[in-house]
């Protein structure tokens, strides 16, 4: 069964458009994002109780707009919280999924590793304050809870 297009595009900055007009209602875009799945062919699909349709996505529909490094009161462990454009809920960064894609864009994976998320330029600069370079190897990493997490490089944003 062929999935028809939604006539919705998402640009590389995470701005959503319907038939060329920007979708400005945050609640609608949030609803759509909550219903995004990956199709068998790796394309993004909106799947709701009324049906499904295919998105036209320049990169990924998930764009990180802000990062916050916090300490959990219950365990004392540090974590990095990701605020995603158009979403009210936050994601906890899985630092093992950090990688640099084309054009030196930083990505990680979200929602149990299913989707790539692109760091916006402001979020990238916030995150860069925590990036360190290994003097021996020249590898970039972040340190979280005493553990080093390398930032892999070279792969496209959709690489796993």
Q: Measuring CA to CA, which residue among 112, 115, 107 is closest to residue 37?
A: 115
pTM: 0.91
How do residues 88-138 score in pLDDT, each as one tens digit?
999 999 999 999 998 899 999 999 999 999 999 999 999 999 999 999 999
Q: Where are the domains of the chain?
A: 5-57, 63-150
What sections of the chain are H helices per DSSP? 26-34, 121-128
How do residues 131-154 score in pLDDT, each as one tens digit?
999 999 999 999 999 999 999 985
**Domain 5-57 top-level CATH class:** alpha beta
- Report the pLDDT value the prediction gives residue 85, as an integer from 0 to 100: 97
**Residue 102 near residue 94 (C-beta atoms within 8 A):** no
List phi, psi (to 5°) of 26. Answer: -60, -40
Alpha-carbon gap, residue 25 to 83, rounded angstroms: 18
Backbone dihedral region for residue 95 (phi beyond 0: left; psi -120 to 50: alpha; all else: beta): alpha
């Amino acid at each position: 069964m062929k999935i028809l297009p939604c006539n919705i595009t998402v640009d590389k900055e995470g701005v959503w458009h319907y038939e060329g007009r920007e979708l400005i209602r945050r609640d609608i875009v949030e609803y759509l994002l909550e219903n995004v799945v990956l199709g068998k062919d790796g394309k993004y699909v909106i799947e709701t109780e009324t049906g499904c349709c295919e998105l036209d996505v320049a990169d990924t529909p998930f764009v990180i707009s802000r990062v916050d490094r916090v300490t959990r009161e219950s365990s004392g462990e540090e974590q990095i919280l990701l605020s995603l454009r158009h979403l009210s809920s936050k994601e906890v960064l899985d630092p093992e999924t950090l990688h640099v894609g084309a054009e030196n864009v930083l990505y990680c994976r979200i929602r149990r590793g299913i989707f790539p998320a692109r760091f916006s330029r402001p979020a990238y600069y916030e995150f860069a304050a925590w990036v360190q370079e290994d003097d021996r190897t020249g590898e970039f990493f972040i340190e979280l809870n005493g553990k080093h997490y390398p930032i892999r490089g070279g792969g496209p944003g959709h690489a796993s």
